[in-house]
Amino acid sequence: MTEATAKSKSSREVRASDLYETRKGSPERGKVWDEIAARLNSLSHPKFIVNKRSLRDRLNLFRAKFKNKNREEEKASGISPEVREIDTLLEELSEKEEEAKNKPSIRDKKQNAQQERAKAEEMRLKAMETMGQNKKLVEESDEVNLRKKKRKSTGDAIGFLEKKAEQEMALRRKEIEMKKQEGMRGSQQTTMQQEMLRMIQQQQEDQQKQQQRKETQQLQFLQSMLNQQQQQSQVLLSLIERLTPKENH
């Protein structure tokens, strides 16, 4: 692994992290350094063996050399040196570090948020305390007025209860009457249904009897016709016998 490759890879890991979102020297920044070192050590190519301290020192050394090199090249030639990837990365990291000095860290933001919440809670408690005092004054005033109106209120309450009891009794009587009427209507409906069923049954019986009478009459008529035919046949035979001459022996 070349030094340029190591510089580029480690610088890219730092740039991709939240390192400069934390306060310098804080536990949060130390944790980010540990995470960066762990990611670098997990690589198979290029191979790193670093910890947060050695990584931090190497990065600071890279940046210091980068700044000195740029100054020397500018003095020697009077023009800006050729820009390489590592130069761009180190320049970005330097800018991020400068910006981090002028803005609050994540921890500072959390502390500010906690302070704001604490202030809001304090204001809420004071407001509740004030409301409680006002409520107490109102309750005391109401208690005085209540004592003055107690006798009158007692009489009004008794009258109200009596009126309510009368209304409930009237409502109860009305419910009983309605149920009674519903029962009568139900009984009448049952009677009508039974009568209708009886009429249907009677009609069916009458139809059956009428059918039986009709069949009986038909049988009687057929029997009568048969008897008449038999009689006619006998009369005819008898007449034939009379008209037929007997042979002499």
Q: Are 58 and 43 in contact (CB under 8 A)?
A: no
Within a domain: residue 91?
Answer: yes
Other CB atoms within 10 Å distance of the CB of residue 36: 21
* Beta carbons within 8 Å of 1's beta carbon, 6+ residues apart: 45, 46, 47
Amino acid 2: pLDDT: 64
On the 0-12 / 13-18 / 19+ scale of CB atoms within 10 A, 174 is exposed
Among 104, 122, 151, identify where a domain stops. Answer: 104
Amino acid 33: pLDDT: 86
**Is the pTM here over 0.85, yes or no?**
no
155-159 CB contacts, 8 Å cutoff, 24+ apart: none
Amino acid 84: pLDDT: 72
Within a domain: residue 43?
Answer: yes
Within a domain: residue 169?
Answer: no
Amino acid 239: pLDDT: 86
* Beta carbons within 8 Å of 104's beta carbon, 6+ residues apart: 112
Amino acid 46: pLDDT: 79
Within a domain: residue 157?
Answer: no
Amino acid 209: pLDDT: 92
Q: Are 74 and 81 in contact (CB under 8 A)?
A: yes
The number of distinct structural domains making up the chain is 2
Within a domain: residue 181?
Answer: no
Question: Which tokens go with 7?
Answer: 């510089």
Within a domain: residue 226?
Answer: yes
The domain in which residue 81 lies consists of 3-104
Q: What is the pLDDT along the chain (249 residues), one digit of tens a residue?
A: 566 777 778 888 888 888 878 888 888 888 988 988 888 888 888 788 888 888 888 888 877 887 777 777 767 665 555 557 777 777 777 777 777 776 665 556 666 777 778 888 888 888 888 887 777 777 777 776 767 666 666 777 788 888 888 898 899 899 898 888 888 887 788 888 888 889 998 999 999 999 999 999 998 999 989 999 999 989 988 888 888 876 555
Among 56, 89, 104, identify where a domain stops. Answer: 104
Rounded Cα distance between 10 and 58, Å, is 9
Label each residue of the chain as H, E or C.
Answer: CCHHHHHHHHHHHHHHCCHHHCCCCCHHHHHHHHHHHHHHHCCCCCCCCCCHHHHHHHHHHHHHHHHHHHHHHHHHHCCCCCCCHHHHHHHHHHHHHHHHHCCCCHHHHHHHHHHHHHHHHHHHHHHHHHHHHHHHHHHHHHHHHHHHHHHHHHHHHHHHHHHHHHHHHHHHHHHHHHHHHHHHHHHHHHHHHHHHHHHHHHHHHHHHHHHHHHHHHHHHHHHHHHHHHHHHHHHHHHHHHHHCCCCCC
Amino acid 109: pLDDT: 64
Among 104, 134, 153, identify where a domain stops. Answer: 104
Within a domain: residue 135?
Answer: no
Q: Are 89 and 8 in contact (CB under 8 A)?
A: yes
Within a domain: residue 150?
Answer: no
